[in-house]
Amino acid sequence: MTMKTKAVLAATAVGAAVLIRNLKNRQPDRSFLGQVVLITGGSKGLGLQMAREFGRRGARLAICARDSAELDRAKGDLERRGYEVLPVTCDVTEEHQVRDMVRQVIARYSRVDVLVNNAGAIHVGPLESMQAADFKNAMDVIFWGTLYPTLAVMPSYIARQSGKIVNISSIGGKVSVPHLAPYSAAKFAVAGLSESLRSELAKHNVTVTAIFPGLMRTGSYRNAQFRGDAAAEEGWFSTGAQLPGLTLSAGRAARMIADATRDGVNERVLGAPAWTLDRAHSLFPAKTMELLTAAATVLLPAITGRGPVRGSALRKVAGPALKMLLWAGQRTAKSLNQGAA
């Protein structure tokens, strides 16, 4: 066989491999075909994008939220894409409502295969501006809003000896983030709960996956609550949630979460910045917190009347770029059913 013939055969083999890979990638992922996926906080933001992703993979959907009008819009969005969906109005901070919601889902579909605990609340501001009520609200929505649905599906999971639980925590549930104390405290609680559930439910063939996303472009800033210098806090938070390279698109995050759910992994950190922060904190916890403290002191706003509004010079210099980022953020928020709070 001549060298030329060998080269032609090698090139043909490479081309065939690429063609097969491309054809495989074009095949629809039906890894959740016929499965019932219940997503709390599924009417907007990451929750809605996850519903789209699980629906794309063949799942039958149930979504819950407190706002019935918001649920109706999400239902329309999902049905236009050809997905079967049951919307249920439910406040996940109320255990009796959660139990009733799960009963409705089981009455409709006969079971729940995957529970995604996604409902959340974000309180932004310096610690001294926070009130006890802010911490209580964060714990009610994020922690109790994870525990109540979990307790509601557990009996059927144990009886069936099968099921998946996915808890959406945050990188803030591994490394406490300045000016997000209530949020981080509640997300840490979710991380601890996930470990306990995983160790105790494994014998029943129930997998528990904890997800730790970094900053995501989901439009969630539209529904955050701001304390202290509220305008300045909203400025840094909404801008940071759009920065290229530091944030993850909602679509990519949803795909990664669906993959982690399918594979039954224990936990997954989403996004390179979040992964880097997690590794740094694991190896050098004291130094990492020193750097976060320094960054917060220099970059984050002070309470009105107690110092200069930090970041104002940056906003003047980078005004057009920031406007473009916020414009992009508004488009994302609209596409994910995020209205103003």
The residues assigned a catalytic role are 183
Residue 27 phi/psi, 5-degree rounding, is -70, 135
Tokens representing 151 are 């307790």
DSSP 133-185: HHHHHHIIIIIIHHHHHHHHHHHHHHHHT-EEEEEE--GGGTSPPTT-HHHHH
For the chain, what percentages of helix, strand and coil (3-state, to nearest 5) are there? 60, 15, 25
DSSP 79-93: HHTT--EEEEE--TT
Residue from 119, 137, 320 nearest 239 by CA: 320
163 vs 158: CA distance, rounded Å: 8
* Helix axis angle, 319-335 to 230-240, nearest 10°: 80
For residue 67, give Cα distances in angstroms to 38, 229, 231, 233, 339.
17, 28, 26, 26, 11
C-alpha 183 chain-centroid distance = 13
Task: Find residue 88's DSSP bridge partners.
Answer: 64
260 vs 263: CA distance, rounded Å: 5
3-state secondary structure of 58: coil
